Structure 1
Amino acid sequence: MPTNITTRAGHNALKAELDHLWRTYRPEITQKVAWAASLGDRSENADYQYNKKLLREIDRRVRYLRKRLEDVRVVDYSPEQEGKVFFGAWVDIENQEGLGKRFRIVGYDEIYGRNDYISIDSPMARALLKKQEGDEVVVQTPTGEALWYIESISYEKTEST
């Protein structure tokens, strides 16, 4: 079960997706279903069958988003976080070979479609939590332990709108 926290931006994105699906996309597909149904025999009507399936998928996503928005808690930046890795942090790390990575620790719902976000529930995020710049971090990976050095930590402070 993923941790039920999100950044302010993540919460706003979930709300925007729900709003778009419910107010724009669903009515559009409902119209197409009604039009396709008016053509007669629904059993061989590809437009009708496809759009009915699409409508079910939209309704499933709308139910998920409504439930998720009820359950999820927004975690905003706090000045006490400065200098340490906490939820919402941008972290620059480097390994012994000099390979660097930069990512932000966010909620489960925010990582999709982003290569620079990792879930708070990931092994990397768990290993980094509460660490400071210059600290060494050992991360358990499927291939064994990996050693990383924390280069820098920063936060987006403009989120608390």
Structure 2
Amino acid sequence: MSQEGPPITPTGMAALRARYDHLLGTERPQIVEIVSWAAGNGDRSENGDYLYGRKRMREIDRELAFLARRMKACRVVDPARQQDRGRAWFGAQVTIADEYDNQRTVTMVGDDEQDAGAGLIGWSAPMARALRGAAVGDLRRVRLPGGEKEWEVIAISYPEAA
């Protein structure tokens, strides 16, 4: 893992590794078996199992290559080891409120592990860029597709070291 490159949490890296291992150890061998069986059936030009299997194998190989590149490029940053816990940095769980006092809690994670529905925002997302370095009480303006919105930082927390 490099010292430069996009950050990722240990949990995010474990998820990438699990996906890679699943594809390489489970899905790909199953597809290889199906393709081998289908190839032994004779004419391959109209053999759906063979054609689909080859297509799926190419998809799996592409995803394996992508995952390998991402795991090599990303640097693991453990949010529990953050020294400056008074400001919002990578891995921080930030509670924000808009002008109508609608509160929302987001966690700033790596771009590979973002999931807006679960409150995980990617490190390079507009919201995360606006919140970087913010302290409790700071006002941050975010340009969203629906227009500009101002948020106040209500609370900042980090996971505890294991």
Q: Is the structural similarity TM-score above 0.5?
A: yes
Q: What 5-or-longer segments of structure 2 have no aligned partner?
A: none
Q: Which of the numbers 133, 145, 150 marks the counterpart of 2:148?
A: 145
> 129, 132, 135: which one pairs with 1:132?
135
**What is the match of residue 49 of structure 1?**
51
| Percent identity over paired residues | 41
Match of 2:84 among 81, 84, 90: 81
- Give the root-mean-square deviation of aligned CA atoms: 1.6
* TM-score, normalising length: structure 1: 0.90
Secondary structure at 1:149 match in 2: strand
Gaps of 5+ in 1: none
User: Deviation of residue 113 (structure 1)?
Assistant: 7.8
Q: Mapping of 1:82-121 within 5 angstroms?
A: 82-112=85-115, 114-121=117-124
User: What is the number of residues matched between the two proteins?
Assistant: 157
Q: Is the 8 A contact 2:35 2:50 kept in 1?
A: yes
After superposition, the Cα gap between the structure-2 partners of 1:79 and 1:67, relative to the gap in structure 1 and judged at 3 Å, is: closer
Q: Which one-letter code corresponds to 1:59 in the other structure?
A: D
- The residue type paired with residue 36 of structure 2 is A
Runs of 4+ in 1 over 3 A off after TM superposition: 112-115
Offset, 1:158: 4.0
> What's the TM-score, normalizing by structure 2?
0.90
Q: What's 2:12 paired with? A: 10
